[in-house]
């Protein structure tokens, strides 16, 4: 039996035409961390929701996180409540620098516990997917973050933030990477 895939969205939660939404529909038995209805910008609340989702999954788990979801995983991994088979961490947002307009403000992220980004090695194998033109994080910063986390780096090329605004809906390479981690 393959590992259960747990999708961890970023701060925008469920987006209908996002690669995670498409992948979740195509992977039987996958689970997505439920969006928060309160304290939506709270890092602690987001990490607690991730932990709650993990606690109800039986068997092996592969995490597929996007943007700030990657940071949720890194914060959760500081005191993990269970073993994880592997994680795919796609285009982590660099919240240690101001994000573009339309995203949470730097001061709001800092006040809600997102800064600093954990740099401790992850206690499970991981692959970080980096974009050469991500408006939310420079390639060199994500390359360094992957090294700090002890993760492999997958250079996805110039794919923006790998979200609908960058032209991704379905992302076949993402599904392939997830399936590699599940095996």
Tens of pLDDT, residue by residue over 5-38, are 999 999 976 778 999 999 999 999 999 999 888 8
Taking the domains of the chain in order of start, what are their residue ranges? 4-182
Phi, psi (deg, nearest 5) at residue 180? -60, -40
Q: How high is the pLDDT of residue 1?
A: 65
pLDDT digits (tens, 9 = 90+) for 62-107: 999 999 999 999 999 999 999 999 999 999 999 999 999 999 999 9
Q: What are the residues whose beta carbons fall under 8 Å from the beta carbon of 137, sequence distance 6 or more?
A: 91, 92, 93, 94, 130, 131
For the segment 175-179, the average pLDDT, to the nearest whole number, is: 97
- Dist CA 161 CA 153 (whole Å): 16
The gap between the terminal CA atoms of the chain, to the nearest Å, is 9
| pTM score above 0.95 | yes
Does the domain spanning 4-182 belong to CATH 3.40.50.1820?
A: yes
Element (DSSP H or E) covering residue 66: strand 61-66
Q: CA–CA distance from 8 to each of 11, 25, 64, 92 (Å)?
A: 10, 14, 6, 12
- Which pLDDT band holds residue 155 (cuts at 50, 70, 90)? very high
Q: How high is the pLDDT of residue 14?
A: 73
């Amino acid at each position: 039996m393959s590992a259960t895939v747990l999708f961890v969205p970023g701060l925008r939660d469920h987006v209908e035409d996002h690669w995670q939404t498409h992948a979740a529909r195509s992977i039987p038995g996958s689970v997505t961390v439920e969006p928060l209805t309160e304290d939506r910008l709270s890092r602690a609340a987001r990490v607690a929701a991730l932990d709650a989702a993990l606690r109800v999954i039986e068997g092996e788990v592969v995490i597929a996180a996007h943007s700030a979801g990657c940071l949720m995983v890194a914060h959760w991994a500081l005191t993990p409540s269970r073993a994880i088979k592997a994680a795919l961490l796609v285009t982590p947002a660099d919240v240690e620098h101001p994000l573009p307009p339309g995203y949470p403000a730097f001061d709001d992220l800092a006040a809600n516990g997102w800064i600093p980004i954990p740099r401790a090695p992850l206690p499970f194998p991981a692959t970080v997917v980096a974009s050469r033109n991500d408006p939310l994080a420079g390639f060199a910063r994500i390359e360094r973050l992957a090294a700090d986390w002890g993760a492999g780096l997958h250079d996805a090329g110039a794919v923006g933030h790998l979200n609908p605004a960058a032209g991704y809906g379905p992302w076949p390479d993402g599904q392939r990477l997830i399936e590699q981690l599940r095996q």
